[in-house]
Structure 1
Amino acid sequence: MPDPNQAALDFMQTRRSRPARTLAGPVPDAEALQVLLTIAARTPDHGKLEPWRFLVIEKPALERLAGEVRDRGLALALDPERVEKTVREFADADLVVAVVASPKPSDKVPEIEQVLSAGAVCYGLLAAALAAGWGANWLSGWPAFDRPFLEAGLNLKPHEFVAGFLHIGTETIAPPERPRPMLDQITEWVRA
């Protein structure tokens, strides 16, 4: 039998995201954030392509992006409540790390594997932040895929998109546990 890391297993079994709206300052400083980003970058990455990168978005930039989200939402004629909710996600945040999926041309590693690697980076950053004692939440929403917002607001290249906006800050209230999947309903054993 292997020698388990029980503390890590206990953490993974009880890990719970913190709603972004419940996060406040202080936020990790550059040194603390560097540790979290280093952990997140240790994700599975077939071919060592690094098909992702980080944008650390601080308060002044988040306020600017909130305005751009409002403008884009109006231009797209989205439901005003939906737009305002997304505006608040940016305007009320103190620190967001955007994990940018940036697939690389490769004959050996399909683009889908590269995109999945970017998703793994999001989870790695989320888990690292929570393990370090911060509150954290992984969000996306329509701005993560809106080309004009991505290119004008975040200066992304045409082939890039946001795999996740990771909100990181100080937890103000602990959320209740939520229902989890019933394993017998989502698991099939293939034995022969």
Structure 2
Amino acid sequence: MSEVMDFLLTRRSRPAKLLSSPGPDRATLEKILTAGGRVPDHGKLEPWRFVVFEGAALSRISADIICRAEEIGEDGAKASSPFDLAPVCIMVVGSTVEGTKIPEYEQVLSAGCAAMSVLNAALASGWGANWLTAWIATDKPLLNDTFGLTGDEWVAGFIHIGTCQNPPPERPRPDMEKKVDWVDQ
């Protein structure tokens, strides 16, 4: 079996609470992002983009999340924690392209594939990584004011990347005999 298949069959996200510094350097992040862009994209619409947050930006985001959580009664500590712990966050932003023959759902799936590809590229590069959303991914004031998204953009995921000292325990996986139907006629 190839190393790629070994990776895919054993890949495991690292919980954001286990991530810390250091994180990948810019050259490594550029490779991770390039891999993230190699996804199915019917019509070559590129209905997604990446925003990389590091350093002081992560502290600002964390503070904004805590303030907003207090306003709306959400758990600010839980939502802001990944921005405090991981040294890098790649926000995968989706934006469907109107007026094409490509269905919106295919464009949404392409953005999801981009998020998964970024996650897998980070993990395959030896980093700890976790794909999160939570309420912050749909809160309009945060999306507009903190993350700078426009009205037609949405968050496919926040990919938090850093060093993970302790590998997490394996979690239950699907029983593939119950998830697969074989049809030969």
What TM-score results when the alignment is normalised by the length of structure 2?
A: 0.95
Give the equivalent residue in structure 1 for 2:28: 32
TM-score, normalising length: structure 1: 0.92
Whole-angstrom CA distance in 2 between matches of 1:93 and 1:8:
26
**C-alpha distance in structure 2 between counterparts of 1:59 and 1:190, whole Å:** 52
Tell me, yes or no, if the aligned pair for 2:23 and 2:86 is still in contact at 8 Å. Answer: no
CA RMSD of aligned residues (A): 1.2
Structure 1 window deviating more from structure 2 (65-74 vs 151-160): it is 65-74
C-alpha distance in 1 between matches for 2:23 and 2:85: 13
Tell me whether 1:169 sits opposite 2:166 in the alignment.
no
Q: Among residues 85, 92, 104, which one is paired with 1:99 in the alignment? A: 92
SS of corresponding position for 1:162: strand
1:77 and 2:73 are equivalent in the alignment: yes
Q: In the aligned structure 2, how far is the partner of 1:146 from the partner of 1:191? A: 46
* Aligned residue runs from structure 1 range 1-192, under 5 A: 6-78=2-74, 82-192=75-185
Residues 103-125 of structure 1 show CA distances to partners (whole Å, capped at 9, x for unaligned) of: 11133111111111111011101
Following superposition, the deviation at residue 191 of structure 1 comes to: 3.7
How far has the Cα of 1:188 moved from its partner? 2.4
Report the alpha carbon displacement of residue 102 of structure 1 after superposing the two structures with TM: 1.3
Structure 1, unmatched stretches of 5+, are none
Query: Contact 1:65–1:90 at 8 Å: present in 2 too?
Result: yes
Counterpart residue identity of residue 123, structure 1:
M
Gaps of 5+ in 2: none
Aligned-residue identity in percent:
46
Q: Which amino acid aligns with 1:26?
A: P
Runs of 4+ in 1 over 3 A off after TM superposition: none
1:41 and 1:121 in contact (8 A); partners too: yes
> Between Structure 1 and Structure 2, how many residues are aligned?
185
SS in 1 for 2:43: helix
| Structure 1 stretch displaced more, 48-57 or 90-99 | 90-99
User: What secondary structure does 1:169 align onto?
Assistant: strand
Checking the alignment, whether the CA contact within 8 Å between 1:59 and 1:93 is kept in structure 2 is no
